Amino acid sequence: MSYDIRLKDRVTGEVLELDSPHFLTGGTYRVGGTTECWLNITYNYADIYYKHFGEKGIRTIYGMSGAESIPLLKSVINKLGDDVSQDYWEATEGNAKRALCKLLALAEMRPDGVWDGD
């Protein structure tokens, strides 16, 4: 199980595209990259996200613009440890932080988009 988190156009609801492919990988990803503003994140990190984002966990950013989410993402990133595991699926703060850094990168590339997911 996982979160599929996307930045969408606020008017059309379509997933936003980038000019060139990104290689931000999560639990699932497209070999060769994708131009979609999309990231898949394992639910294994959910407890960490609930602890730091609050009641809605990572879903707290849903409905926010990329620009609105940047300060929140940075705040949570700064609170998480750096214990990255070679095993992507292991629920460490470092792994959860790495995923948030990828969402932050997407938000910075398309601050006009609105987060949606699940």
> What residues does each domain of the chain span?
2-117
Give the dihedral sign, CA 77/83/85/90: negative
Q: 16 forms bridges with which residues in the sheet? A: none
CA atoms lying within 13 Å on the CB side of residue 68: 11
Q: 17 forms bridges with which residues in the sheet? A: 36
Closest CA to 96 of 54, 68, 57: 57
pLDDT at 51: 98
Residue 26: helix, strand or coil by DSSP? coil
**pLDDT over 70 for what percent of the chain?**
100
Residues in the chain: 118
Residue stretches of the chain with pLDDT short of 50: none
pTM value > 0.85? yes
Beta strands at 114-117 and 2-8: parallel, antiparallel or unpaired: antiparallel
Alpha-carbon distance values, 93 to 48, 49, 52, 73, 90 (Å): 7, 9, 10, 14, 9
pLDDT at 14: 98
